[in-house]
Amino acid sequence: LLTWLGLKLCDRIVDKMFMLSKLESNKANTLRKLIKSILHYTIYFISLLTILAKFGINLGPVLAGAGILGLAIGFGAQSFVKDVITGFFIIFERQLEVGDVVEINGQIKGTVEEVGLRVTKIREYNQRLHYLPNGTITQVTNYNRDKMRAIVHINVPYESNLDICNQALEEVCEKMKEKYEEILIEDPEVVGITNIDPNGVQFTITAVCKPSEFWGLEREMRKQSVITLNRYGIPIAYP
């Protein structure tokens, strides 16, 4: 009963502390979950020792034996220690936080749901939840840091009038600037012809925006590019 009350009390205190703090929401959520995890482990350990003492068990030999056992287990639990240490560095260096969209090791891409002492939880867009030991995380690509550049490639046939194509895409950039002025950090621009391949001539348009708006902006840029080019009578190239 005291253990249950202790857990509830600690959770309430931690939540209250972070409500009064001025930390960013993502960072606050990450640290709150981590602190709760540490407190829960500590309370469970104290509760176990207290219960053993109530049953008249001498804790001296138990703690001494636990120390020796811990040393033996430590040699075989190097991966666990590595996971915990890596987890602290992930938090300290702000590599990822709860709510961030990240790509881990170039393989798993999704939203961070929890950063724990040993395991980080990543949920993919299709809702699969990955449990990753922190020690296995060697590369983190974070899509929620300061700004993102939306990059859209448009291929047009070789027979197209390239000047008119460029004019049409300039018009797309102007529309994007008017419609999404609040989320843009740098104005959209036509980079120009960025590639020539068997499928046609490739134009590229870009815009720097707030991280959370990146995917929506890219989708809209593609849509408006197709609509505008069609209005000018220019099809999208295909093999």
pLDDT in tens, 124-181: 999 999 999 998 999 999 988 889 999 999 999 999 999 999 999 999 999 999 999 8
Determine contact, residues 34/91, Cβ cutoff 8 Å: yes
What is the pLDDT averaged over residues 204-233? Answer: 93
Written as six digits, the tokens of 144 are 């929620």
Query: What's the chain's average pLDDT?
Result: 86
Tell if the pTM clears 0.75, that is, is over it: no
> For the ranges 83-92, 102-111, 116-125, which has the lowest average pLDDT?
83-92
Tell me what pLDDT residue 46 has: 86
Torsion angle, alpha carbons of 90, 28, 24, 150, to 10: 50
What's the pLDDT at 22? 61
Under the banding of pLDDT at 50, 70 and 90, the label for residue 90 is: confident
**What integer pLDDT is reported at residue 21 of this predicted model?**
65
Under DSSP, is residue 125 helix (H, G, I), strand (E, B) or coil? Answer: coil
| Strand partners of residue 148 | 209
- Angstrom distances, CA of residue 156 to CA of 164, 205, 230: 11, 13, 11
Given pLDDT bands bounded at 50, 70 and 90, which one contains residue 72? Answer: low
Q: CA-CA distance, 157 to 181, in Å (whole number)?
A: 32
Local structure of residue 235 (DSSP, 8 states): P
SS3 11: helix
- From the list 179, 156, 177, 174, the residue with the least C-alpha distance to 230 is 156
Tell me the pLDDT band of 109, cut-offs 50, 70 and 90.
very high
Angle ∠(213,140,124) on CA atoms, nearest 5: 60
**Per-residue pLDDT averaged across 218-225, rounded?**
94
Rounded to whole angstroms, the Cα distance separating 119 from 83 reads: 7
The helix/strand/coil state of 151 is: strand
User: What are the distances in angstroms from CA 37 to CA 30, 40, 46, 77, 137?
Assistant: 11, 5, 15, 19, 20
